[in-house]
Structure 1
Amino acid sequence: MSESVTFRDFAGALMNSDSEAASGVLTTLLGIDAGAAARATQHFQEQMAASPAFMMKAMGMRTVVEAKDEAQLVSLLSECFGLPDAAVGPAAKHLLARYA
């Protein structure tokens, strides 16, 4: 997976019904293993199907990353991707480092 992937690539893969590619993007973006990325992708898809407002919340991640607000990013990653407590902090740090 290219190191230059973005959440736009994740969304594009989901729109193309390619969960495997979407998971691969998360592996790179969040620094999580393939199994965790697959679970996170599934969680995201379930949340997106359950609530029309969910996508707006997910889109807010860009602003949070640009503001380097780690606490808010941890919250969004947990809500949007269902990452467990042990993984969400390191994932937030990994993502912020990518955009430093």
Structure 2
Amino acid sequence: MSAEAIEAVQHTSGMIEPMRYTSGSDEYDVIHLGGEAAAVVPLDEFRRLKALEEAAPQEALEEAEATALYAKNREWEAEGRPGAMSHEEATRFLLGEAE
């Protein structure tokens, strides 16, 4: 997520306040629980999306998944690739030579 798309995350009294996420003309609240990020959407919108997913042909679902993965990668690159390893670090890790 770009810095412009995020307002803040505040942890107060065990409550989690959502961040704002902007994608195109859409805005969503995003919460983080258990290492996963989740968009907060109205229940009617969620039901509509589930119905579309169930009715869509497999090819359309695969294309949508690829588009979503590409968008996630663009956001990761825009954030400066946090957590990324250099080629040398990845090679050492994969060969079991990492410290």
**Shorter-chain TM-score above 0.5:** no
Larger strand fraction of residues: 2
Higher RCO, Cα 8 Å, sep 6+? 1
**Bigger-Rg structure (1/2):** 2
Q: TM-score under structure 1 normalisation?
A: 0.30
